Amino acid sequence: MCPTRRCCHTARAECPGVTTRSWLPGYLALAAIWGASFLFIGIGVRELHPVYVTLGRVVAGALALIVVLLLTRDRLPRDPVVWAHLCFTGLVGVVIPFTLFGYGEQRVSSGLAGIWNATTPLLTLPIAALVMRTEKLTVRRAAGVGVGFLGVLVVLGVWQGVGGAHLSGQLMCLGAAACYGVAIPYQKKFLGHRPDSSGALAAGQLITATAQLLIVAPLLAGAPPSPLGLSPEVAASVLVLGVFGTGLAFLINMRNIRIMGASTASSVTYLIPVFAVLLGVLVLDEHISWHQPVGAVIVMLGVAISTISVRRPTP
């Protein structure tokens, strides 16, 4: 752990007390968990409406984090202002993107959905710079966004002509990533300085998301299905998705940010598509076109250009 509070908000290179051994296991675990989440979403939407997949995973994740808070004798935030911000991040950072990925995976493969998730840092930068004013949009970063946009066009395969359900599914996944692009800088600006623990904020975010979904889900999808009517694999997928892909993943991600810094920790999105594509091919027998992984590499290159700092050597 960083020896000072300041180090917890800087890149790993600025924190001499941090070793690779201290962050690498959690970093790889998070990539694997979030990469596998797209597999479980794909299984869940076979029998459940996407909004009920979201509700199931959020409820399971919230309960898991509440148990963690009880075991660690931590407590939820008490400031009403914090809860107001958590209501927004619960909606934009959880409810909408989780549901959009569910809708998207009714139309595209889980691996392709994972590839679109990798555009999150690319979409975060202009929102953080132009709207939230938490980042600066330099020429290098603008160039990175341009390269990333080229990668998006390659993933879409625009030269083949686009349209139909496949396109709508990809746009839903892109919309989900855009939601993360709003939620991440919002959290940094309005919640990053709060004294509440990362676990408490994550639990609060999932609790507000649960409350919102309990209202919205019946309106969008009708009465909830009986859990007893679900196949074992679908029920297990939603449970694993909630406890591990939502609850545990939120905790690991918060820990990574504290140890490595937000910028370095966000680079985990480079590895998520690898796990998502591999699991989709091996478990669900999915097939991807050649231009989709090629476009993903171009997107990641754009993200790298726009996010990796170039430091001048000190004399």
pLDDT per residue as tens digits for the range 231-240:
999 999 999 9
**Rounded CA gap, 137 and 142, in Å?**
6
Q: What angle do CA 236, 272, 2 make, to 5 degrees?
A: 105
pLDDT per residue as tens digits for the range 266-314:
667 777 888 888 888 888 888 878 888 888 888 878 877 876 654 444 3
pLDDT per residue as tens digits for the range 131-141:
877 677 788 87
Is the separation of the CB atoms in 90 and 209 below 8 Å?
yes
Among 76, 202, 188, 174, residue whose Cα is nearest residue 116: 174
What is the average per-residue pLDDT within 172-183? 91
What is the average per-residue pLDDT within 173-184? 90
**Rounded CA gap, 255 and 249, in Å?**
10
CA atoms 103, 108, 109, 114: torsion sign: negative
- The upper half-sphere exposure of residue 168, i.e. CA atoms within 13 Å in the direction of its Cβ, equals 6
pLDDT of residue 1: 38
In sequence order, which residues have a C-beta less than 8 Å from that of residue 262 and are 6 or more positions away?
9, 188
Mean pLDDT for all residues in the chain: 83
